[in-house]
A and B are shown apart, each in its own frame.
Chain A
Amino acid sequence: MIAVFAPIGRTVLGALAAIGSLAIYAASVLRHMITPPFYPRALLGALYQIGWLSLPVVGLTAIFTGAALALQIYAGGARFSAEAVVPSIVAIGMVRELGPVLGGLMVAARVASSVAAEIGTMKVTEQIDALVTLSTDPMKYLVAPRVLAATLAVPLLVAVGDSIGILGGYLVGVGRLDFNGAVYLKNTVDFLQQWDVVSGLLKGAAFGFLVALCGCYFGMRSGRGAQGVGAATKQAVVAASVLILASNYLLTELFFSA
Protein backbone atom coordinates (compact mmCIF):
# COMPACT_ATOMS: atom_id res chain seq x y z
CA MET A 1 0.00 0.00 0.00
CA ILE A 2 2.82 2.35 0.92
CA ALA A 3 4.39 1.68 -2.47
CA VAL A 4 1.25 3.09 -4.11
CA PHE A 5 0.92 6.23 -2.00
CA ALA A 6 4.60 7.05 -1.54
CA PRO A 7 5.12 8.47 -5.06
CA ILE A 8 1.93 10.53 -4.74
CA GLY A 9 3.07 11.86 -1.38
CA ARG A 10 6.51 12.66 -2.74
CA THR A 11 4.99 14.54 -5.69
CA VAL A 12 2.65 16.55 -3.46
CA LEU A 13 5.41 17.37 -0.99
CA GLY A 14 7.69 18.34 -3.89
CA ALA A 15 5.04 20.63 -5.35
CA LEU A 16 4.37 22.25 -1.97
CA ALA A 17 8.10 22.74 -1.40
CA ALA A 18 8.44 24.35 -4.85
CA ILE A 19 5.50 26.70 -4.20
CA GLY A 20 6.94 27.62 -0.80
CA SER A 21 10.39 28.21 -2.26
CA LEU A 22 8.95 30.42 -5.03
CA ALA A 23 6.87 32.36 -2.48
CA ILE A 24 9.94 33.02 -0.29
CA TYR A 25 11.86 34.07 -3.40
CA ALA A 26 9.01 36.43 -4.38
CA ALA A 27 9.10 38.05 -0.93
CA SER A 28 12.85 38.49 -1.24
CA VAL A 29 12.46 40.04 -4.72
CA LEU A 30 9.85 42.49 -3.41
CA ARG A 31 12.21 43.52 -0.60
CA HIS A 32 15.05 44.09 -3.07
CA MET A 33 12.75 46.09 -5.38
CA ILE A 34 12.05 48.68 -2.69
CA THR A 35 15.43 48.91 -0.96
CA PRO A 36 18.55 50.63 -2.37
CA PRO A 37 20.81 50.46 -4.24
CA PHE A 38 18.72 50.88 -7.38
CA TYR A 39 19.98 50.37 -10.91
CA PRO A 40 17.97 52.71 -13.17
CA ARG A 41 19.98 51.85 -16.30
CA ALA A 42 19.30 48.14 -15.76
CA LEU A 43 15.61 48.99 -15.26
CA LEU A 44 15.48 51.00 -18.50
CA GLY A 45 17.20 48.18 -20.38
CA ALA A 46 14.72 45.66 -18.99
CA LEU A 47 11.76 47.92 -19.85
CA TYR A 48 13.01 48.07 -23.44
CA GLN A 49 13.59 44.32 -23.67
CA ILE A 50 10.44 43.22 -21.90
CA GLY A 51 8.04 46.01 -22.87
CA TRP A 52 8.94 47.58 -26.18
CA LEU A 53 10.24 44.44 -27.89
CA SER A 54 7.15 42.46 -26.84
CA LEU A 55 4.79 44.91 -28.56
CA PRO A 56 4.74 43.16 -31.98
CA VAL A 57 3.90 39.71 -30.62
CA VAL A 58 1.26 41.07 -28.22
CA GLY A 59 -0.25 43.28 -30.95
CA LEU A 60 -0.44 40.43 -33.47
CA THR A 61 -2.00 38.11 -30.89
CA ALA A 62 -4.55 40.75 -29.93
CA ILE A 63 -5.68 41.71 -33.43
CA PHE A 64 -6.33 38.13 -34.51
CA THR A 65 -8.00 37.31 -31.20
CA GLY A 66 -10.32 40.33 -31.44
CA ALA A 67 -11.18 39.45 -35.04
CA ALA A 68 -11.94 35.80 -34.23
CA LEU A 69 -13.92 36.84 -31.16
CA ALA A 70 -16.16 39.09 -33.28
CA LEU A 71 -16.88 36.23 -35.68
CA GLN A 72 -17.62 33.78 -32.85
CA ILE A 73 -19.89 36.15 -30.96
CA TYR A 74 -21.74 37.06 -34.14
CA ALA A 75 -22.30 33.37 -34.97
CA GLY A 76 -23.29 32.52 -31.39
CA GLY A 77 -25.46 35.61 -30.98
CA ALA A 78 -27.33 34.82 -34.22
CA ARG A 79 -28.83 31.73 -32.54
CA PHE A 80 -30.99 33.98 -30.39
CA SER A 81 -31.05 37.13 -32.56
CA ALA A 82 -28.46 38.95 -30.46
CA GLU A 83 -25.93 39.85 -33.16
CA ALA A 84 -25.90 43.44 -31.93
CA VAL A 85 -23.96 42.48 -28.81
CA VAL A 86 -20.79 41.87 -30.84
CA PRO A 87 -19.08 45.26 -30.10
CA SER A 88 -19.76 45.22 -26.37
CA ILE A 89 -18.86 41.55 -25.84
CA VAL A 90 -15.69 41.88 -27.90
CA ALA A 91 -14.66 44.90 -25.81
CA ILE A 92 -15.51 43.32 -22.45
CA GLY A 93 -13.97 39.99 -23.44
CA MET A 94 -10.78 41.63 -24.57
CA VAL A 95 -10.19 44.02 -21.69
CA ARG A 96 -11.32 41.76 -18.87
CA GLU A 97 -9.98 38.42 -19.97
CA LEU A 98 -8.36 37.80 -23.31
CA GLY A 99 -6.13 40.89 -23.41
CA PRO A 100 -4.42 40.24 -20.07
CA VAL A 101 -4.37 36.45 -20.29
CA LEU A 102 -3.20 36.08 -23.89
CA GLY A 103 -0.86 39.05 -23.52
CA GLY A 104 0.52 37.50 -20.34
CA LEU A 105 0.99 34.11 -21.99
CA MET A 106 2.75 35.63 -25.01
CA VAL A 107 5.04 37.60 -22.69
CA ALA A 108 5.62 34.41 -20.69
CA ALA A 109 6.71 32.62 -23.85
CA ARG A 110 8.97 35.45 -24.92
CA VAL A 111 10.26 36.91 -21.66
CA ALA A 112 10.28 34.08 -19.09
CA SER A 113 12.30 31.99 -21.54
CA SER A 114 14.81 34.70 -22.40
CA VAL A 115 15.26 35.83 -18.79
CA ALA A 116 15.75 32.24 -17.58
CA ALA A 117 18.19 31.48 -20.41
CA GLU A 118 20.14 34.71 -19.87
CA ILE A 119 20.42 34.38 -16.10
CA GLY A 120 20.99 30.61 -16.35
CA THR A 121 23.86 31.17 -18.78
CA MET A 122 25.27 33.85 -16.50
CA LYS A 123 25.14 31.35 -13.66
CA VAL A 124 26.87 28.48 -15.46
CA THR A 125 29.57 30.81 -16.82
CA GLU A 126 30.20 32.15 -13.28
CA GLN A 127 29.06 35.67 -14.19
CA ILE A 128 26.75 35.64 -11.14
CA ASP A 129 29.70 34.74 -8.90
CA ALA A 130 31.71 37.48 -10.60
CA LEU A 131 28.98 40.00 -9.75
CA VAL A 132 29.19 39.00 -6.09
CA THR A 133 32.98 39.40 -6.06
CA LEU A 134 32.48 42.88 -7.57
CA SER A 135 30.38 43.90 -4.53
CA THR A 136 27.14 43.74 -6.52
CA ASP A 137 24.10 41.84 -5.30
CA PRO A 138 22.67 39.81 -8.23
CA MET A 139 19.19 40.10 -6.71
CA LYS A 140 19.39 43.87 -6.97
CA TYR A 141 21.32 44.15 -10.24
CA LEU A 142 19.72 41.34 -12.26
CA VAL A 143 16.46 40.25 -10.66
CA ALA A 144 14.79 43.35 -9.18
CA PRO A 145 15.04 45.49 -12.38
CA ARG A 146 13.61 42.69 -14.54
CA VAL A 147 10.71 41.93 -12.21
CA LEU A 148 9.91 45.62 -11.73
CA ALA A 149 10.14 46.26 -15.47
CA ALA A 150 7.77 43.38 -16.27
CA THR A 151 5.33 44.50 -13.57
CA LEU A 152 5.25 47.99 -15.10
CA ALA A 153 5.42 47.01 -18.77
CA VAL A 154 2.86 44.22 -19.04
CA PRO A 155 -0.12 46.43 -18.02
CA LEU A 156 0.93 48.86 -20.77
CA LEU A 157 1.21 45.95 -23.20
CA VAL A 158 -2.24 44.81 -22.10
CA ALA A 159 -3.65 48.30 -22.69
CA VAL A 160 -2.18 48.37 -26.19
CA GLY A 161 -3.31 44.78 -26.79
CA ASP A 162 -6.85 45.62 -25.64
CA SER A 163 -7.02 48.51 -28.10
CA ILE A 164 -5.63 46.45 -30.97
CA GLY A 165 -7.98 43.55 -30.11
CA ILE A 166 -10.98 45.87 -30.18
CA LEU A 167 -9.69 47.22 -33.48
CA GLY A 168 -9.54 43.63 -34.81
CA GLY A 169 -13.17 43.14 -33.79
CA TYR A 170 -14.08 46.48 -35.37
CA LEU A 171 -12.43 45.60 -38.68
CA VAL A 172 -14.29 42.28 -38.88
CA GLY A 173 -17.53 43.80 -37.61
CA VAL A 174 -17.52 46.62 -40.13
CA GLY A 175 -15.75 44.84 -43.00
CA ARG A 176 -17.33 41.39 -42.82
CA LEU A 177 -20.46 41.60 -40.68
CA ASP A 178 -21.89 44.85 -42.07
CA PHE A 179 -21.90 46.78 -38.80
CA ASN A 180 -22.06 50.56 -39.05
CA GLY A 181 -18.66 51.89 -37.95
CA ALA A 182 -19.97 54.70 -35.77
CA VAL A 183 -22.57 52.44 -34.11
CA TYR A 184 -19.93 49.77 -33.47
CA LEU A 185 -17.67 52.27 -31.72
CA LYS A 186 -20.56 53.77 -29.74
CA ASN A 187 -21.63 50.32 -28.50
CA THR A 188 -18.03 49.52 -27.58
CA VAL A 189 -17.62 52.68 -25.52
CA ASP A 190 -21.11 52.73 -23.97
CA PHE A 191 -20.98 49.23 -22.54
CA LEU A 192 -17.38 49.31 -21.33
CA GLN A 193 -16.93 50.35 -17.69
CA GLN A 194 -13.82 51.78 -16.11
CA TRP A 195 -13.44 48.79 -13.77
CA ASP A 196 -13.41 46.43 -16.79
CA VAL A 197 -10.28 48.17 -18.03
CA VAL A 198 -8.64 48.69 -14.64
CA SER A 199 -9.14 45.07 -13.57
CA GLY A 200 -7.48 43.90 -16.79
CA LEU A 201 -4.51 46.18 -16.22
CA LEU A 202 -4.15 44.95 -12.62
CA LYS A 203 -4.17 41.40 -13.95
CA GLY A 204 -1.47 42.44 -16.40
CA ALA A 205 0.71 43.77 -13.57
CA ALA A 206 0.29 40.53 -11.63
CA PHE A 207 1.08 38.43 -14.72
CA GLY A 208 4.15 40.54 -15.52
CA PHE A 209 5.44 40.06 -11.99
CA LEU A 210 4.91 36.30 -12.21
CA VAL A 211 6.53 35.98 -15.64
CA ALA A 212 9.75 37.76 -14.66
CA LEU A 213 9.76 36.10 -11.25
CA CYS A 214 9.66 32.63 -12.84
CA GLY A 215 12.33 33.57 -15.39
CA CYS A 216 14.69 34.80 -12.66
CA TYR A 217 13.87 32.01 -10.18
CA PHE A 218 14.53 29.15 -12.57
CA GLY A 219 17.47 30.93 -14.21
CA MET A 220 19.17 31.37 -10.84
CA ARG A 221 18.63 27.66 -10.12
CA SER A 222 19.84 26.51 -13.51
CA GLY A 223 21.86 23.31 -13.62
CA ARG A 224 25.20 23.00 -15.34
CA GLY A 225 25.76 23.21 -19.07
CA ALA A 226 23.42 23.63 -22.01
CA GLN A 227 21.09 20.94 -20.68
CA GLY A 228 20.73 22.72 -17.35
CA VAL A 229 19.96 26.06 -19.00
CA GLY A 230 17.51 24.39 -21.38
CA ALA A 231 15.68 22.71 -18.51
CA ALA A 232 15.55 25.98 -16.55
CA THR A 233 14.09 27.78 -19.58
CA LYS A 234 11.41 25.14 -20.08
CA GLN A 235 10.48 25.12 -16.39
CA ALA A 236 10.26 28.93 -16.36
CA VAL A 237 7.82 29.05 -19.29
CA VAL A 238 5.65 26.20 -17.98
CA ALA A 239 5.54 27.60 -14.44
CA ALA A 240 4.83 31.14 -15.64
CA SER A 241 2.00 29.95 -17.93
CA VAL A 242 0.37 27.81 -15.24
CA LEU A 243 0.69 30.58 -12.65
CA ILE A 244 -0.86 33.09 -15.06
CA LEU A 245 -3.90 30.87 -15.65
CA ALA A 246 -4.28 29.97 -11.96
CA SER A 247 -3.86 33.54 -10.74
CA ASN A 248 -6.26 34.72 -13.48
CA TYR A 249 -8.98 32.59 -11.93
CA LEU A 250 -8.19 33.83 -8.42
CA LEU A 251 -8.11 37.47 -9.52
CA THR A 252 -11.37 37.06 -11.46
CA GLU A 253 -12.95 35.61 -8.31
CA LEU A 254 -11.57 38.52 -6.32
CA PHE A 255 -12.64 41.23 -8.78
CA PHE A 256 -15.97 39.98 -10.08
CA SER A 257 -17.50 37.40 -7.74
CA ALA A 258 -20.82 38.55 -6.35
Chain B
Amino acid sequence: MITLTHIRKSFGSNHVLRDISLHVPKGSSLVVIGGSGTGKSVLLKCILGLITPDAGQIDIDGRQGTGLQNPDFLTHFGMLFQGGALFDSLPVWQNIAFRLLQGSNKLSKSDARDLAVEKLIRVGLKPQDADKFPAELSGGMQKRVGLARAIATDPSVIFFDEPTAGLDPIMSGVINALIREIVTEMGATAVTITHDMRSVHDIADNVAMIYDGLIRWHGPVGDLESAGDPFVDQFIHGRADGPITTQR
Protein backbone atom coordinates (compact mmCIF):
# COMPACT_ATOMS: atom_id res chain seq x y z
CA MET B 1 0.00 0.00 0.00
CA ILE B 2 1.38 3.39 -1.00
CA THR B 3 -0.12 6.69 0.15
CA LEU B 4 1.02 10.12 -1.01
CA THR B 5 -0.25 13.20 0.83
CA HIS B 6 0.22 16.71 -0.55
CA ILE B 7 3.53 16.04 -2.30
CA ARG B 8 5.28 19.09 -3.71
CA LYS B 9 8.48 19.31 -5.71
CA SER B 10 10.02 22.25 -7.54
CA PHE B 11 13.24 22.66 -9.49
CA GLY B 12 14.01 26.36 -9.16
CA SER B 13 10.98 28.22 -10.47
CA ASN B 14 9.65 25.10 -12.20
CA HIS B 15 6.93 23.74 -9.91
CA VAL B 16 6.73 20.17 -11.21
CA LEU B 17 4.54 18.66 -8.50
CA ARG B 18 2.28 21.25 -6.86
CA ASP B 19 0.04 19.12 -4.67
CA ILE B 20 -0.17 15.40 -5.32
CA SER B 21 -2.22 13.07 -3.14
CA LEU B 22 -2.71 9.45 -4.21
CA HIS B 23 -3.51 6.09 -2.68
CA VAL B 24 -2.41 2.79 -4.22
CA PRO B 25 -4.08 -0.16 -2.44
CA LYS B 26 -2.01 -3.29 -1.81
CA GLY B 27 -2.01 -5.65 -4.79
CA SER B 28 -3.49 -3.13 -7.21
CA SER B 29 -2.03 -1.67 -10.37
CA LEU B 30 -2.03 2.11 -10.73
CA VAL B 31 -1.07 3.72 -14.02
CA VAL B 32 -0.11 7.39 -13.93
CA ILE B 33 -0.64 9.18 -17.22
CA GLY B 34 0.21 12.67 -18.39
CA GLY B 35 2.06 14.49 -21.11
CA SER B 36 5.83 14.63 -21.43
CA GLY B 37 7.42 16.83 -18.76
CA THR B 38 4.41 16.78 -16.43
CA GLY B 39 6.37 15.22 -13.58
CA LYS B 40 5.44 11.53 -13.83
CA SER B 41 9.05 10.34 -13.50
CA VAL B 42 9.69 12.87 -10.73
CA LEU B 43 6.68 11.48 -8.85
CA LEU B 44 8.00 7.92 -9.17
CA LYS B 45 11.48 8.97 -8.01
CA CYS B 46 9.95 10.88 -5.07
CA ILE B 47 8.12 7.75 -3.90
CA LEU B 48 11.33 5.79 -4.23
CA GLY B 49 13.46 8.45 -2.55
CA LEU B 50 15.84 9.11 -5.44
CA ILE B 51 14.43 12.66 -5.39
CA THR B 52 13.47 14.30 -2.09
CA PRO B 53 10.07 16.03 -2.14
CA ASP B 54 9.96 19.64 -0.91
CA ALA B 55 6.82 18.95 1.13
CA GLY B 56 4.25 16.26 1.79
CA GLN B 57 4.21 12.79 3.24
CA ILE B 58 4.82 9.37 1.75
CA ASP B 59 3.66 6.21 3.50
CA ILE B 60 4.60 2.75 2.25
CA ASP B 61 2.95 -0.24 3.88
CA GLY B 62 1.93 1.95 6.81
CA ARG B 63 5.42 3.27 7.44
CA GLN B 64 6.17 6.92 6.91
CA GLY B 65 9.06 7.76 4.57
CA THR B 66 10.21 7.19 1.00
CA GLY B 67 11.29 3.79 -0.26
CA LEU B 68 14.94 4.43 0.49
CA GLN B 69 14.11 5.64 4.01
CA ASN B 70 12.44 2.30 4.79
CA PRO B 71 15.34 -0.13 5.31
CA ASP B 72 13.45 -3.27 4.24
CA PHE B 73 11.62 -1.69 1.32
CA LEU B 74 14.25 -2.30 -1.35
CA THR B 75 14.45 -6.01 -0.58
CA HIS B 76 10.81 -6.33 -1.68
CA PHE B 77 11.01 -3.86 -4.56
CA GLY B 78 11.66 -4.08 -8.29
CA MET B 79 11.79 -1.44 -10.98
CA LEU B 80 11.77 -1.50 -14.76
CA PHE B 81 13.54 1.60 -16.03
CA GLN B 82 12.56 3.42 -19.21
CA GLY B 83 15.76 2.57 -21.07
CA GLY B 84 16.26 -0.75 -19.29
CA ALA B 85 19.24 0.61 -17.29
CA LEU B 86 21.03 -2.70 -17.70
CA PHE B 87 24.66 -2.78 -16.57
CA ASP B 88 26.72 -2.81 -19.78
CA SER B 89 29.68 -4.54 -18.19
CA LEU B 90 27.73 -7.55 -16.92
CA PRO B 91 26.18 -10.42 -18.90
CA VAL B 92 22.41 -10.76 -18.94
CA TRP B 93 22.21 -13.37 -16.19
CA GLN B 94 24.32 -11.29 -13.81
CA ASN B 95 22.10 -8.27 -14.53
CA ILE B 96 19.01 -10.29 -13.60
CA ALA B 97 20.60 -11.89 -10.54
CA PHE B 98 22.47 -8.75 -9.45
CA ARG B 99 20.73 -8.38 -6.11
CA LEU B 100 20.96 -12.12 -5.45
CA LEU B 101 24.76 -11.96 -5.80
CA GLN B 102 25.15 -9.15 -3.23
CA GLY B 103 24.89 -8.93 0.53
CA SER B 104 25.20 -11.38 3.39
CA ASN B 105 22.42 -13.68 2.13
CA LYS B 106 23.75 -13.93 -1.41
CA LEU B 107 23.18 -17.07 -3.44
CA SER B 108 25.92 -19.20 -4.95
CA LYS B 109 26.77 -18.32 -8.53
CA SER B 110 25.17 -21.45 -9.93
CA ASP B 111 21.94 -20.98 -7.94
CA ALA B 112 21.77 -17.31 -8.95
CA ARG B 113 22.33 -18.24 -12.58
CA ASP B 114 19.60 -20.90 -12.45
CA LEU B 115 17.16 -18.39 -11.01
CA ALA B 116 18.16 -15.79 -13.62
CA VAL B 117 17.55 -18.28 -16.43
CA GLU B 118 14.16 -19.15 -14.93
CA LYS B 119 13.18 -15.47 -14.95
CA LEU B 120 14.61 -15.08 -18.45
CA ILE B 121 12.30 -17.84 -19.69
CA ARG B 122 9.40 -16.24 -17.77
CA VAL B 123 9.78 -13.06 -19.85
CA GLY B 124 9.97 -15.02 -23.09
CA LEU B 125 13.72 -15.12 -23.73
CA LYS B 126 15.91 -18.17 -24.28
CA PRO B 127 18.40 -19.64 -21.78
CA GLN B 128 21.21 -19.07 -24.29
CA ASP B 129 20.56 -15.31 -24.03
CA ALA B 130 21.84 -15.48 -20.44
CA ASP B 131 25.48 -15.12 -21.42
CA LYS B 132 24.99 -12.27 -23.88
CA PHE B 133 25.84 -8.69 -22.97
CA PRO B 134 23.12 -5.99 -23.04
CA ALA B 135 24.69 -4.34 -26.12
CA GLU B 136 24.04 -7.56 -28.08
CA LEU B 137 20.27 -7.39 -27.43
CA SER B 138 17.52 -5.53 -29.29
CA GLY B 139 15.51 -2.83 -27.50
CA GLY B 140 12.63 -5.22 -26.85
CA MET B 141 14.94 -7.89 -25.49
CA GLN B 142 16.63 -5.34 -23.21
CA LYS B 143 13.22 -4.36 -21.89
CA ARG B 144 12.43 -8.00 -21.17
CA VAL B 145 15.74 -8.44 -19.35
CA GLY B 146 14.94 -5.30 -17.36
CA LEU B 147 11.58 -6.85 -16.49
CA ALA B 148 13.26 -10.12 -15.50
CA ARG B 149 15.62 -8.16 -13.22
CA ALA B 150 12.67 -6.27 -11.70
CA ILE B 151 10.90 -9.53 -10.75
CA ALA B 152 14.02 -11.53 -9.82
CA THR B 153 13.31 -11.42 -6.09
CA ASP B 154 9.51 -11.75 -6.39
CA PRO B 155 8.97 -8.21 -5.11
CA SER B 156 5.75 -7.02 -3.49
CA VAL B 157 6.07 -3.54 -5.06
CA ILE B 158 7.07 -2.94 -8.69
CA PHE B 159 7.50 0.35 -10.54
CA PHE B 160 7.42 0.52 -14.33
CA ASP B 161 8.79 3.68 -15.94
CA GLU B 162 7.49 4.03 -19.52
CA PRO B 163 7.61 0.26 -20.12
CA THR B 164 6.80 0.49 -23.84
CA ALA B 165 8.82 3.59 -24.76
CA GLY B 166 10.69 3.05 -28.01
CA LEU B 167 9.13 -0.33 -28.79
CA ASP B 168 7.11 -1.31 -31.86
CA PRO B 169 3.36 -1.93 -31.32
CA ILE B 170 3.68 -5.72 -31.25
CA MET B 171 6.53 -5.70 -28.75
CA SER B 172 4.61 -3.10 -26.69
CA GLY B 173 1.68 -5.48 -26.55
CA VAL B 174 3.94 -8.34 -25.49
CA ILE B 175 5.53 -6.28 -22.70
CA ASN B 176 2.14 -4.99 -21.50
CA ALA B 177 0.74 -8.52 -21.39
CA LEU B 178 3.81 -9.76 -19.50
CA ILE B 179 3.52 -6.98 -16.96
CA ARG B 180 -0.17 -7.67 -16.39
CA GLU B 181 0.41 -11.42 -16.04
CA ILE B 182 3.33 -11.00 -13.66
CA VAL B 183 1.62 -8.40 -11.49
CA THR B 184 -1.50 -10.57 -11.25
CA GLU B 185 0.30 -13.85 -10.51
CA MET B 186 2.66 -12.23 -7.96
CA GLY B 187 -0.08 -10.16 -6.32
CA ALA B 188 2.29 -7.22 -6.37
CA THR B 189 1.43 -3.55 -5.94
CA ALA B 190 2.37 -1.88 -9.23
CA VAL B 191 2.84 1.74 -10.22
CA THR B 192 3.37 2.43 -13.91
CA ILE B 193 3.96 5.75 -15.60
CA THR B 194 3.26 6.01 -19.28
CA HIS B 195 1.63 8.06 -21.99
CA ASP B 196 0.87 4.96 -24.05
CA MET B 197 -2.92 4.50 -23.84
CA ARG B 198 -2.63 0.86 -24.84
CA SER B 199 -0.46 0.25 -21.77
CA VAL B 200 -3.10 1.99 -19.65
CA HIS B 201 -5.85 -0.38 -20.80
CA ASP B 202 -3.62 -3.48 -20.61
CA ILE B 203 -1.98 -2.85 -17.23
CA ALA B 204 -4.18 -0.60 -15.06
CA ASP B 205 -6.69 -1.30 -12.34
CA ASN B 206 -6.76 2.40 -11.56
CA VAL B 207 -5.58 5.45 -13.48
CA ALA B 208 -4.39 8.85 -12.32
CA MET B 209 -3.73 11.71 -14.70
CA ILE B 210 -1.22 14.42 -13.79
CA TYR B 211 -1.60 17.84 -15.33
CA ASP B 212 0.03 21.09 -14.22
CA GLY B 213 1.50 19.48 -11.11
CA LEU B 214 -1.88 18.24 -9.82
CA ILE B 215 -3.89 15.02 -10.06
CA ARG B 216 -6.44 16.00 -12.70
CA TRP B 217 -8.41 12.75 -12.48
CA HIS B 218 -8.16 9.50 -10.54
CA GLY B 219 -10.39 6.46 -10.85
CA PRO B 220 -10.86 2.91 -12.13
CA VAL B 221 -9.64 2.28 -15.66
CA GLY B 222 -13.17 1.34 -16.71
CA ASP B 223 -14.36 4.87 -15.92
CA LEU B 224 -11.61 6.55 -17.93
CA GLU B 225 -13.59 6.89 -21.15
CA SER B 226 -16.54 8.39 -19.31
CA ALA B 227 -14.48 10.60 -17.00
CA GLY B 228 -16.21 13.70 -18.32
CA ASP B 229 -13.08 15.78 -17.88
CA PRO B 230 -12.05 17.76 -20.98
CA PHE B 231 -8.32 17.42 -20.09
CA VAL B 232 -8.58 13.63 -19.70
CA ASP B 233 -10.73 13.37 -22.80
CA GLN B 234 -8.22 15.30 -24.92
CA PHE B 235 -5.29 13.27 -23.59
CA ILE B 236 -6.72 9.78 -23.97
CA HIS B 237 -7.94 10.49 -27.49
CA GLY B 238 -4.75 12.27 -28.48
CA ARG B 239 -6.50 15.39 -29.78
CA ALA B 240 -4.41 18.39 -30.74
CA ASP B 241 -7.25 20.76 -29.85
CA GLY B 242 -8.50 21.14 -26.32
CA PRO B 243 -7.65 22.69 -22.96
CA ILE B 244 -4.15 21.15 -22.90
CA THR B 245 -2.05 23.62 -24.84
CA THR B 246 0.78 22.29 -26.96
CA GLN B 247 3.49 24.01 -28.93
CA ARG B 248 3.43 23.43 -32.66
Chain A residues near B (Cβ < 8 Å)? 37, 122, 125-127, 129-130, 132-136
Q: Are B98 and A133 in contact (CB under 8 A)?
A: no
Cα distance, A156 to B28, chains bound together (Å): 57
Q: Are B98 and A129 in contact (CB under 8 A)?
A: no
Max count, chain A CB within 10 A of own CB: residue among B45, B85, B87, B88: B85
| Closest B residue by C-beta to A41 | B101
Number of interface residues of B (CB under 8 A): 21
Chosen A-B contacts, 17 in total, with CB atoms closer than 8 Å, are A37-B102, A122-B88, A126-B81, A127-B85, A129-B45, A129-B50, A129-B85, A130-B86, A130-B87, A132-B50, A132-B68, A133-B74, A133-B79, A134-B149, A135-B74, A135-B75, A136-B102
| B31 on the A face (CB < 8 A) | no
| Closest B residue by C-beta to A130 | B85
Cα distance, A138 to B74, chains bound together (Å): 15
Q: Are B87 and A126 in contact (CB under 8 A)?
A: no
* Residue from A37, A130, A136 within 8 A of B79 (CB atoms): A130
- Nearest Cβ distance between residue B158 and chain A, in whole angstroms? 11
| B82 on the A face (CB < 8 A) | yes
Which residues of B, 12-49, contact A by the 8 Å Cβ criterion?
Answer: 45, 48
Which residues of B, 231-248, contact A by the 8 Å Cβ criterion?
Answer: none
**What A residues does B180 contact at CB under 8 A?**
none
- Nearest Cβ distance between residue B68 and chain A, in whole angstroms? 7
Cα distance, A125 to B86, chains bound together (Å): 9
Whether A126 touches B75, Cβ cut-off 8 Å, given contacts A134-B98, A136-B98, is: no
| Closest B residue by C-beta to A132 | B50
**What B residues does A133 contact at CB under 8 A?**
48, 74, 77-79
- Nearest Cβ distance between residue B165 and chain A, in whole angstroms? 12
| B173 on the A face (CB < 8 A) | no
**What A residues does B103 contact at CB under 8 A?**
37, 135
* Residue from B85, B88, B99 within 8 A of A126 (CB atoms): B85
Binary contact track B65-91/A, C-beta < 8 Å → 1, others 0: 000100000110111011101111000
| Closest B residue by C-beta to A126 | B85
**What B residues does A136 contact at CB under 8 A?**
98-99, 102
**What B residues does A135 contact at CB under 8 A?**
74-75, 99, 102-103
Cα distance, A130 to B149, chains bound together (Å): 10
Which residues of B, 83-116, contact A by the 8 Å Cβ criterion?
Answer: 83, 85-88, 98-99, 102-103
- Nearest Cβ distance between residue A137 and chain B, in whole angstroms? 10
**What B residues does A37 contact at CB under 8 A?**
102-103
Max count, chain B CB within 10 A of own CB: residue among A37, A133, A135: A133
**What A residues does B50 contact at CB under 8 A?**
129, 132
**What A residues does B78 contact at CB under 8 A?**
133
Cα distance, A132 to B81, chains bound together (Å): 12
| Closest B residue by C-beta to A124 | B83
Q: Are A125 and B99 in contact (CB under 8 A)?
A: no
- Nearest Cβ distance between residue B51 and chain A, in whole angstroms? 10
Q: A126-B81, A130-B85, A130-B86 are in contact. List 16 more A-B contacts (CB 8 A).
A: A122-B88, A127-B87, A129-B81, A130-B81, A130-B87, A132-B68, A133-B74, A133-B78, A133-B79, A134-B98, A134-B99, A134-B102, A135-B74, A135-B103, A136-B99, A136-B102
**What A residues does B102 contact at CB under 8 A?**
37, 134-136
Q: Are A126 and B48 in contact (CB under 8 A)?
A: no
Cα distance, A136 to B87, chains bound together (Å): 13
Cα distance, A37 to B103, chains bound together (Å): 8
